[in-house]
């Protein structure tokens, strides 16, 4: 598992670890069932404190991305992709809610928002080409 810590990032180190693990899961770099380094080993590799990695792992376990089997170590959970999708859905919902909130504040009709969504979906966003 390759994780790179940005020292001057606004994001706390444990969040950087969480984000990178999730990213690697979504990209298929980390596969369900594959083992991840122990907390202490990762702390050593990254030259950071044990509690920082502990906190990141705690969060990943809590959200279901990592499973810890006593005596065997930690693994990427079999359902990690489900959890990832769930989280992405939540993220999407959250952003959509913000969109509606902003639209209401600016008195933009929901129909206009729909139109905007259609427009971006049909290639208004040039990154989505091909």
The distance of closest approach from Cβ of residue 69 to another protein in the complex, given in angstroms and rounded to an integer, is 17
The distance of closest approach from Cβ of residue 121 to another protein in the complex, given in angstroms and rounded to an integer, is 33
**Measuring CA to CA, which residue among 6, 18, 2 is closest to residue 56?**
18
Q: Which is nearer to another protein, 41 or 117 (CB)?
A: 41
**Cα distances (Å, whole numbers) of residue 64 to 19, 78, 127:** 14, 9, 32
Q: Which is nearer to another protein, 17 or 80 (CB)?
A: 17
The distance of closest approach from Cβ of residue 94 to another protein in the complex, given in angstroms and rounded to an integer, is 17
Beta-ladder partners of 66:
76
């Amino acid at each position: 598992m390759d994780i790179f810590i940005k020292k001057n990032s606004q994001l706390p180190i444990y969040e950087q670890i969480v984000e990178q693990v999730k990213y690697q899961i979504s990209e298929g770099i980390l596969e369900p069932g594959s083992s991840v380094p122990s907390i202490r080993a990762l702390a050593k590799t990254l030259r950071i404190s044990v509690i920082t990695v502990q906190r990141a792992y705690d969060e990943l376990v809590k959200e279901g991305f990592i499973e810890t089997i006593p005596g065997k170590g930690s693994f990427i959970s079999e359902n990690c992709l489900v959890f990832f999708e769930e989280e992405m859905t939540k993220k999407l919902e959250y952003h959509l809610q913000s969109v509606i909130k902003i639209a209401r504040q600016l008195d933009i009709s929901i129909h206009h928002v729909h139109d905007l969504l259609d427009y971006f979906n049909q290639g208004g966003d040039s990154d989505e080409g091909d």
